[in-house]
Structure 1
């Protein structure tokens, strides 16, 4: 088994470094670490001389051109292609904001090796407050607050789920044949929103299972957020329309309704789509 950890990044230099510190402290190191930088040459340089560079882990980097709407789906696909070309047969995708717990890699590896149907494997993501700096505080036990709407299996526990709307790309693992069967993320989705929900539903349509993996906890580093991501308005409206045409229902409905309440978007009955408010 050759395990690759794949992350994509644009900015977030300290978060990337903290992730690499966490990986270097892991109970099990990845065999390969792939960083795809979206228009961020500094992230490539930082990775080549960072904490992972002094371990026994191989490192691959890729620099992509990045328009204003970050190519999240294309970047993840590029990372997987780099990992597969380097011989990886187990892929762990980790958001740049996420620092792995010491048991994350081993827990995902064990879950991927367990008998059963092909599956997407998701771990618990725990949200940290601004007072926690994982560059200085080693994660030796559960930190942060787990997302209340998602399963929270105990260490060593694997929970199967039919709730595909809960799949997310912050932290998940997949075997190479399963990734290839799904075909990666659909690059019709550009920028923020819906590309991971689409990926999950395409996996479900193919009969691939969804499992939640205990012990594969990741710590989500703090950064300022808004309940309504107005900076991604155009991305969300466009990607929601692509998703609706494919699946027959609207993703991100809470945000769409929020945009409408804020006077930023409206549903156009004539065209059956969400558009910017005039």
Structure 2
């Protein structure tokens, strides 16, 4: 059985190097493993890096395409020869059991498997931001210690496996999502609609060593995903209208009195500039552990989402840096 690992990348040489090193030592025969790195046409040249890993025994090759995550994943899948596809992000570290854990998780037909994601233990211990971020992942740290079926919007595409025939059956990821966010949720719902069960397994575990992560970067990602992808996602996935946070922030989804009241409050709070004040507070107290409060991060998420909705309504991405 050949397993194909597909890694979209863009200017993350150091992280990619570390991940490829981990993949060289998987406890699966090297002849059964192929790695496809899908890079951006405009990305830095990494041919020497891949050549070095190939010299050291890794079956790895590089594809070039546009810098759209869904396009990269689909391009890698088209070139793959394996019967099982594993999608990994380029800023992960993985144990030598990752691939076999994904293979063994597919013990029945028509399932897609999301593996466990953690942040580095030292990051969680030292910063409130990563303590919160880690609490939002399904992992053994947050009580997800056994295999379960999961909701479609909980699919984790940064550490995901799916049989190649199933991936081709549902036509891969939707490439109409050209900015950050949305394609993973849409993929999960489309799997479910096609009779594919979304599964979480803690055994295929990966550590997320994201580059330059902090609360401001977190806010910018939320803003971009909301500004560019939320309404498009709702058109493709009408189930989004039943999500409370969507009802609270998107005016067309606020059908109940309580949703309208919360929506009005969020608009008013955004108008007072609370987003940037809250980001500054969370940055300054990031290592003050007794001030850790998940509620602050949840409020920030709602406020940034509402800010993006407001800006979208007037057709202007203000390119907030959230510095």
TM (norm. structure 1) is: 0.78
Residue 244 of structure 1: how far off its partner (Å): 1.0
Asked whether 1:117 is paired with 2:109, we answer: yes
Residue 215 of structure 1: how far off its partner (Å): 2.1
* Whole-angstrom distance in 1 between the partners of 2:98 and 2:314: 39
Secondary structure (helix, strand or coil) at the match of 2:116 reads: strand
Equivalent of 1:54 in 53, 56, 59: 56
Q: Deviations over 1:118-161 (max 9, x none)?
A: 111111112116779xxxxxxxxxxx99943444469xx86231
Unaligned runs of 5+ in 2: 125-130, 247-297, 319-323
Q: Deviations over 1:7-26 (max 9, x none)?
A: 01001110000001111122
* Whole-angstrom distance in 1 between the partners of 2:115 and 2:133: 10
Secondary structure (helix, strand or coil) at the match of 2:147 reads: strand
Change (3 A) 1:275 1:120: farther
* Whole-angstrom distance in 1 between the partners of 2:13 and 2:113: 27
Count of residues in Structure 1 that have an aligned counterpart in Structure 2? 249
What corresponds to 1:247 in structure 2? 237
Q: Hey, which of these two has a bigger chunk of helix by percent?
A: 2
* Whole-angstrom distance in 1 between the partners of 2:314 and 2:98: 39
Change (3 A) 1:35 1:165: same
Root-mean-square deviation (CA), in Å? 3.1
Residue 265 of structure 1: how far off its partner (Å): 4.1
* Whole-angstrom distance in 2 between the partners of 1:216 and 1:193: 23
Contact 1:107 1:216 in 2 (8 A): yes
What corresponds to 1:26 in structure 2? 26
Q: Hey, which of these two has a bigger chunk of strand by percent?
A: 1
TM (norm. structure 2) is: 0.68
Larger Rg, first or second structure (1 or 2): 2
Asked whether 1:5 is paired with 2:5, we answer: yes
Equivalent of 1:217 in 205, 213, 218: 205
Unaligned runs of 5+ in 1: 133-143
Residue 117 of structure 1: how far off its partner (Å): 3.5
Relative contact order higher in (CA < 8 Å, ≥ 6 apart): 1
Change (3 A) 1:274 1:12: farther
What corresponds to 1:78 in structure 2? 75
* Whole-angstrom distance in 2 between the partners of 1:117 and 1:231: 35
Asked whether 1:160 is paired with 2:148, we answer: yes
